Amino acid sequence: MSVTLTLIPLVLVLRAAIGDKNLNDWIESSQIKIQTNIKDENELIVLVKKQVMINKRGKASKSKF
C-alpha span between 15 and 45 (Å, rounded):
32
Instruction: Using alpha carbons, list the distances in angstroms from residue 55 to 17, 41, 50, 62, 64.
Output: 44, 21, 9, 8, 12
Radius of gyration of the chain (CA): 18
Coil/strand/helix, residue 20: helix
Per-residue pLDDT at 2: 59
pLDDT in tens, 40-55: 999 999 988 888 777 6
C-alpha span between 47 and 41 (Å, rounded):
10
pTM of the model: 0.41
